[in-house]
Amino acid sequence: MVNEDNYWIERWGDGYFHVNSKGNVSVKPERGGMEGDLYELTCSLVQRGIEAPILIRFNGIIQDRIRVLNEAFQRAIEEFHYRGSYQLAFPIKVNPQRHVVETVQQGGASFKIGLEVGSKPELISVMASDKNPDSLLLCNGYKDIDYISLALLASKLGRQTLIIIEQAYELKLVLDASEKLGIEPRIGFRMKLSNKGTGRWQSSGGEQSKFGLFSHEIVACLEQLEAQKKTHWVKLLHYHCGSQITSIDAVKKALAEGVRTYTELASAYPSMCYFDVGGGLAVDYDGSKSVADSSMNYSLEEYARNVVYVIGEACLQAGIPDPIIITESGRAIAAHHSVLITEVIDVTSSPPMSEKFEPPSDHDILTTLVSMHEELSPDNCREFYHDVMEFKERILQEFIVGNLSLKERAFAEKVCSLLIVRIRQMFRQLSEFREEVEVLDSILQETYFCNFSVFQSLPDSWAIGQLFPIMPIHRLQEKPTHRAVLADLSCDSDGSIDCFISQKGTNGSIKLHEYRGEPYYIGIFLTGAYQEILGGLHNLFGDTNVVHAELGEDGQWEFSSLVEGDTIEEVLNYVQYNPERLLSQLHVLIERALKIGQLSPLESAQLKKKFKQSLESYTYLVV
């Protein structure tokens, strides 16, 4: 059942995540297939010494996403009697971690999945791979002569390399490199669309976008190739109008403009055989099925049907063969497959509530608050609400000018908090005063401190307000009673999450269970696209522990690989601190302190040992 207490999991979980009968989150790596318990998986990792934060990658989900996408296109091809085929290429910028790229290659082997690279380092990272050696290799991004030469040489290893000209200057480099190496390239053009996408990344499309060629530049490139009798090199037309396209209308508009260009080019240059519509297929992070930035108003099937139908119809009318359709769907392949597990380490404490009050003085604020507490009833609760809000301000003012002592302030605040809790309860029972309840909710909201870094693990949440589904992964049979925001370990007020999925779209807090000082794990879902690679080293929290989990045939979790998170030594090296040098500096300080008797020999040994141990330890908190 989809309800608030289950955090809308059936809406955004997309068949991969559910709540099981034990009240834990369960994962079905293959939609409709076997399921495994995420909480039990987390506990067994912790027992093995793999502490939170842990990023769990589900290889099966990647495989399932590739299968689902290919099947959707295959169905559309059959339905519309499309005479060409479909080819999926994974843009490795979405998650270039070796284990992820290899999982994509493995999971997509039967569909001959290709790869898209957007830079020289990305090309080098996959060029030597022996997986799917004859699959497509799309070379995008800004290029220099070395990038182009490498791409040409890669084709000699059997790769179906396509060099996509994004800037007009690149054609000359291709001509030069080809002549020098004696290798004929297969090239494509990336066109600049006049139509923009929708959502946050819409500026990747449109005339002001930084990528792609204007029509006059494509025409000029073709004239150059004609002059050199090389037009047979041209194989592909590509556009990309931004990631996370939230509206199907924008997909259709881009298609209309792109396919018009393709049919004209392919009519004139019959060597053309690929039409690459880029990425942009969105992910419904909030499950609202809307055009909100973190959602999408269409399904994967609708996307595939539109792409296939529009291209097929246009080619039929133009009397040209249907091209091989390529999509560079990155987010749609990778987002679902990883979950970040973090552990709550503390909660902001609200003042202890007792029914009996002993005011530390007979200050009029204190005596009035105590009598309000005694007299509060459904009849006067609205008036008392206004009074308490006023008192909250007065308490601070009186404290600042010295009319209230620290003890008196503490007592007054405690009574105010209790009154607020009781007034909110009465408002709710009366089913009235919704606005006031919201104000009281925000006053009573608590902060749950979690062992992770937003900057490292959820950069898009911090930088662009991207929504990710967040929920506890256990205790889901228990009603969550505390309204909270999440704070990370970083010393930065931005290192927090205060926007959560709700019925209305978003909510400034999330309902969590009472923190009892025992392990309470929170999962942050759909983090597999872009987050890991964009994450930064703010406060020197490095990469988290990463585990690849698969469900065995017996329904038990198996771990295919473990990538240990960064140690303090590793992140220090990254910012040019040499651990050996740090140790010798420490040695000098220790000797100096020993000499003046500030440190005992025993303390010096403890200090050295702790320092060394810490260098080798995980950057996150040991809970």
Is 397 in contact with 404 (CB distance < 8 Å)?
no
Q: Does 149 bind ligand PLP (CB under 6 A)?
A: no
Indicate which single residue of 143, 192, 230, 240 sits in contact with ligand PLP (rule: CB under 6 A): 240
Residue range at the interface with ligand PLP (CB under 6 A); choices 73-81, 239-247, 446-454, 480-488: 239-247
Ordered DSSP codes for 151-194: HHHHHTTT-EEEEEE-STHHHHHHHHHHHHHT----EEEEBPPS
Q: How many residues at the interface with ligand PLP, by CB under 6 A?
A: 17
Residue range at the interface with ligand PLP (CB under 6 A); choices 213-221, 279-287, 463-471, 582-590: 279-287
Question: Which two structure tokens, joined as six digits, stand for 475?
Answer: 């205790």
Q: Reduce the DSSP state of residue 597 to 3 states and report it.
A: coil
Indicate which single residue of 104, 281, 341, 395 sits in contact with ligand PLP (rule: CB under 6 A): 281
Closest CA to 307 of 95, 514, 505, 80: 80
Indicate which single residue of 13, 91, 480, 565 sits in contact with ligand PLP (rule: CB under 6 A): 91
CB count in 10 Å sphere of residue 525: 25
Indicate which single residue of 278, 287, 312, 472 sits in contact with ligand PLP (rule: CB under 6 A): 278
Is 439 in contact with 331 (CB distance < 8 Å)?
no
d(CA 298, CA 248): 6
Residue range at the interface with ligand PLP (CB under 6 A); choices 45-53, 325-333, 406-414, 576-584: 325-333
CB count in 10 Å sphere of residue 110: 12
Q: Which residue is nearest to ligand PLP (CB)?
A: 279
**CB 127, min distance to ligand PLP, A:** 19
Which residues make beta-bridge pairs with 55?
340, 546
d(CA 191, CA 215): 7
Indicate which single residue of 13, 108, 280, 323 sits in contact with ligand PLP (rule: CB under 6 A): 280
Residue range at the interface with ligand PLP (CB under 6 A); choices 151-159, 300-308, 322-330, 588-596: 322-330
Question: Which two structure tokens, joined as six digits, stand for 598?
Answer: 């500030």
Indicate which single residue of 120, 331, 337, 363 sits in contact with ligand PLP (rule: CB under 6 A): 331
**Which CB atom, from 243 or from 461, has the smaller least distance to ligand PLP?**
243
**Which CB atom, from 24 or from 327, has the smaller least distance to ligand PLP?**
327
Q: Does 192 bind ligand PLP (CB under 6 A)?
A: no
**CB 238, min distance to ligand PLP, A:** 8
d(CA 340, CA 522): 8
Q: Does 523 bind ligand PLP (CB under 6 A)?
A: no
Residues 6+ apart with CB under 8 A from 231: 222, 225, 269, 271
> Would you give the DSSP letter of residue 245?
B
Q: Does 166 bind ligand PLP (CB under 6 A)?
A: no
Q: Does 288 bind ligand PLP (CB under 6 A)?
A: no
287 alpha-carbon distance from chain centroid: 15
Indicate which single residue of 26, 105, 140, 160 sits in contact with ligand PLP (rule: CB under 6 A): 140
CA distances (Å), origin 200, targets 92, 242, 469, 528, 532: 20, 8, 18, 18, 19
Residues 242-261 that bind ligand PLP (CB under 6 A): 243-244
Indicate which single residue of 96, 185, 279, 542 sits in contact with ligand PLP (rule: CB under 6 A): 279
- What is the helix (H) or strand (E) element at residue 36, kind and residue range? strand 36-37
Q: Does 329 bind ligand PLP (CB under 6 A)?
A: yes
End-to-end CA distance of the chain: 34
Q: Does 330 bind ligand PLP (CB under 6 A)?
A: yes
CB count in 10 Å sphere of residue 330: 25
**CB 214, min distance to ligand PLP, A:** 17
Binding site for ligand PLP (CB under 6 A): 91, 94, 116, 140, 204, 240, 243-244, 278-281, 328-332
